[in-house]
Amino acid sequence: MNLSRTFLIATGAFVSLQAHAQSSVVSSGNAAQENLKSLVNGSAAISYDNRYEGVRGTPYLISAWIPGTIQLASKVPLPETKLKYDANQRLLLMLRSPKDSTYVDMNKVEGFVLNDPTKSQPRAFKRFYDAPDPALRQEYFEVLVPGNYSLLKLQRKTLQKASYSGAYSADRRYDELLDQTDYYIRTADGRLQPFKLNAKALAAALPEHSAQIQAELKKRPALRTEADFVAFAPWLNTLPALPAK
């Protein structure tokens, strides 16, 4: 009788332990599933936005390698080589061999000339260390017409960032390098006067000669394009130089 009772107690204990173990396994399994679920649906989930399409456009003023020369601030002459001008970062890239190119130390570069095959004349770019605006002292202006009233063109590439997130986005899924062109008149005393390509803006840029400029413009066709202003610049350079301020 005592032996049977002992057997029944032992058997009951074993069943109780087995049930507890099964309960623990089920509980652990549920917890594991919940943890996995949280990785997908909860705060631990990682989503990827594959809509971005990269960068469009080129940072270079001219994409192809162009024969040209570099003018150093030290005035040491350099032989002709092939160049690219990065108008976004304001850097000059030089081809040293068919498979080797390098950026030039722009702190030493006063200017450069590109022999652009699409133009009738070499394109000269110059840095003006005496520009009144310190930011403009870092720029390389294309000298369209030199003289007491030099006609200058400043060409830059600005990066427009992608915009496709949010309710008011432009749905533009790429960054883009855009052309930015500004025109200046540089006077003999070093002033840089920005102006738009219209006659009124030119006269306003040179108030000391405004009346003469307006009188001359009445005799000519309207100035609208860069070529029109290049053609007008030789007359502008017949005016007396402005006195230094």
Q: What is the pTM of this model?
A: 0.74
Percent of the chain residues past pLDDT 70, beyond the cut: 73
Q: Closest by alpha carbon to 224, among 245, 244, 197?
A: 197
User: Which token pair is 84?
Assistant: 């690219």
Q: Is residue 221 very low, low, confident or very high in pLDDT (cuts 50, 70, 90)?
A: very high
The residues, any chain, with a CB within 8 Å of residue 39's CB and separated by 6 or more, are: 45
Rg (C-alpha) for the chain, rounded Å, is 36
User: Which token pair is 27?
Assistant: 């509980």
Task: For residues 172 and 164, give the distance between their C-alpha atoms in angstroms, rounded to a whole number.
Answer: 5
pLDDT score recorded for residue 166: 62
pLDDT tens for each residue of 89-148: 999 999 988 889 999 999 999 999 999 999 999 999 999 999 999 999 999 999 999 999
Long-range contacts of 160-163 (CB under 8 A, 24+ apart): 162/52, 162/53
Yes or no: say if 101 and 91 are a contact pair by the CB < 8 Å rule.
no
Residues in the chain: 245
Q: Closest by alpha carbon to 70, among 147, 137, 126, 152?
A: 126
Q: Is residue 52 very low, low, confident or very high in pLDDT (cuts 50, 70, 90)?
A: low
Strands 149-160, 141-145: pairing kind: antiparallel
pLDDT score recorded for residue 44: 47
pLDDT score recorded for residue 172: 72
The residues, any chain, with a CB within 8 Å of residue 212's CB and separated by 6 or more, are: 239
pLDDT score recorded for residue 8: 45
pLDDT tens for each residue of 153-197: 999 998 887 766 666 666 676 788 889 999 999 998 889 999 999
pLDDT greater than 90 at residue 210: yes
Measured distance between the N- and C-terminal CA atoms of the chain, rounded to whole angstroms: 125
